[in-house]
């Protein structure tokens, strides 16, 4: 199914939407880079997903880059659709990894700058 058709089906109501008074509509879906409820950042409907997040396991915290699987057949399997790769904490190397994942492989170049800003945070 096309991404735009899926977006039209889920944009009005899904379990990841978070609404607040006088605030933009947010979304908690996996793979959503900015957390905004929009087609551009949606991790559910886009075939190529990009997200930078932190995971905490005990006292250790790691930075994770989330992308979608290269095989199209994985799109029907929610559990194995997204790939997570750890990023270096050294800012120069971590930013280089984000650039390599986006620009180096022609993968969601429009989100590269936002992913780098989120990594620096």
Single residue among 46, 62, 83 that ends a domain in this structure: 46
26-59 pLDDT, tens per residue?
A: 999 999 999 999 999 999 998 889 999 999 988 9
State how far Cα 71 lies from the chain centre.
Answer: 17
Which residues of the chain fall below pLDDT 50? none
Are residue 6 and residue 51 in the same domain, yes or no?
no
pLDDT at 8: 94
Q: What is the count of structural domains for the chain?
A: 2
Whole-structure pTM value: 0.81
pLDDT at 38: 94
State the CATH number of the domain containing residue 51: 3.30.390.110
Contact by Cβ (8 Å): 31, 23: no
pLDDT at 74: 81
Check residue 107 and report its DSSP letter: S
Residues spanned by the domain of 36: 1-46
Are residue 89 and residue 58 in the same domain, yes or no?
yes
What is the C-alpha separation between 72 and 82, in angstroms, rounded? 11
Are residue 28 and residue 16 in the same domain, yes or no?
yes
Nearest Cα neighbor of 87 from 57, 51, 114, 34 is 51
Are residue 66 and residue 94 in the same domain, yes or no?
yes
Are residue 53 and residue 34 in the same domain, yes or no?
no
Are residue 41 and residue 52 in the same domain, yes or no?
no
Are residue 30 and residue 64 in the same domain, yes or no?
no
């Amino acid at each position: 199914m096309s991404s735009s058709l899926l977006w039209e089906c889920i944009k009005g109501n899904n379990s990841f939407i978070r609404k607040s008074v006088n605030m933009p509509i947010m979304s908690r879906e996996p793979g959503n880079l900015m957390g905004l409820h929009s087609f551009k950042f949606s991790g559910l409907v886009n075939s190529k997903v990009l997200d930078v997040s932190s995971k905490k396991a005990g006292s250790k915290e790691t930075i994770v880059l989330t992308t979608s699987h290269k095989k199209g057949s994985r799109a029907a399997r929610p559990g194995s659709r997204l790939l997570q790769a750890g990023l270096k904490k050294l800012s120069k190397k971590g930013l280089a990894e984000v650039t390599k994942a986006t620009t180096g492989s022609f993968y969601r170049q429009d989100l590269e700058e936002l992913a780098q800003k989120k990594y620096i945070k």
